[in-house]
Amino acid sequence: MSKNRAQKSELLSKYVDMLKGNAGYLLVDTNGLDTLTITKFKMGLKEIGADYAVVKNSVFKIALQETNQPVQTQDFDGPTAVISYKEDPTAAAKLIKEVQKETEKLSARAGTINGEYIDAEKVMQLADIPSREVLLAKLLGSLNAPLSGVMNAITGNVRGFTMVLRQLSEKEAK
């Protein structure tokens, strides 16, 4: 359906606000998905702090240019949905991959991470990266390991010394 100039201007400001208010976005093709699947997909995105919107391609391209986002015109062919995220792109990518496995109809097209363009293949590779929380936990575990080793070495000597003293005192008590 064709939109008049005022409607397009309103859409443009909405898209610009969406792009400026989020860390990045992922483009997906939802052509052929049923309403129930899309509704579940949207609810899953809300839980992880991401938003879903079907966009008008021509107006969205203008919004991308106005916000200096990388744009590839081949990514805007047919119905396009935008998943905008605030923090963790891997969570959205995991959800895309999950729905793609279930339906085989949802497909990633492209996206951005920290202002850099990524193609569909890289979007799907994001799904294989552990979440931010898991990566932080692994980092803290790695940082904690040397400290634990030092503490074990220090307490090991003290523990050994106290064991020797205890055995000597038990030997003398007999």
75: pLDDT strictly greater than 70: no
Q: How far is the CA of 101 from the CAs of 32, 74, 114, 135, in angstroms?
A: 14, 24, 27, 25
148: pLDDT strictly greater than 60: yes
Residue 2 confidence class, pLDDT cut points 50, 70, 90: low
pTM of the shown model: 0.72
Q: Where are the domains of the chain?
A: 5-129, 130-174
Task: State residue 82's pLDDT score.
Answer: 92
43: pLDDT strictly greater than 90: yes
117: pLDDT strictly greater than 60: yes
CATH architecture of 5-129: 2-Layer Sandwich (3.30)
- Residue that the structure tokens 């994001």 belong to: 126
